[in-house]
Amino acid sequence: MMMTFKGFFAALAGPAPNYDMQKILSIRSPEEASKMSGFVNIILLPIRYTLIISLTALGLIFYHQMNLKDATGSIDFERILPAVINNFLPVGLVGLLLAGLLGAFMSTFSGTMNAGQAYIVNDTTIKSGQQVFYTLSLIANLGAE
């Protein structure tokens, strides 16, 4: 129930400050930004999440048949996805799935890091002035040597 509310409120908040937000802010007009955001929501998101939704459905349907209990005897929900992958997918597809999940994590992480450094630079240069930014970059360059 809490995950439903979290997803609902995250959707109300708008785009997260990562790669998608950078693309929206870099577009020339609000019309193009709304077209790009609509394209992502209608076309890309269902395609992106179809595989993980199907694995989730398998896990929910067959979770009684899988060994999901931890040492204390309670169900560990973190074991559902690995159990579904091990029990229902052939070996070749497991490799492709893991490569895809790792690639998705890496692209999300790199987009978030890229957006984070852009926020730091903008906050430093706009709020503190160019001289402070120049001093910070000089200190960073000296520290890197």
In tens, the pLDDT along 22-60 reads 677 777 788 888 888 788 778 877 877 888 888 889 888
Q: Is residue 52 part of a domain?
A: yes
The number of distinct structural domains making up the chain is 1
Inside any domain, residue 145: no
- pLDDT tens string 72-101: 888 888 888 888 998 899 999 999 989 988
Average pLDDT over residues 114-125: 67
Is there a domain that residue 137 lies in? no
DSSP of 1-67? -HHHHHHHHHHHH-S-TTHHHHHHHHSSSHHHHHHHHHHIIIIIHHHHHHHHHHHHHHHHHHGGGS-
Task: Classify residue 140: in a domain, yes or no.
Answer: no
pTM: 0.54
Beta-bridge mates of residue 75? 69
Q: Is residue 9 part of a domain?
A: no
| Average pLDDT along the chain | 77
Residue 86: domain span: 14-113
**Residue 136 in domain:** no
Evaluate whether residue 4 is within a structural domain: no
28 within domain boundaries:
yes
- The dihedral sign for the CA sequence 134, 139, 144, 145: positive
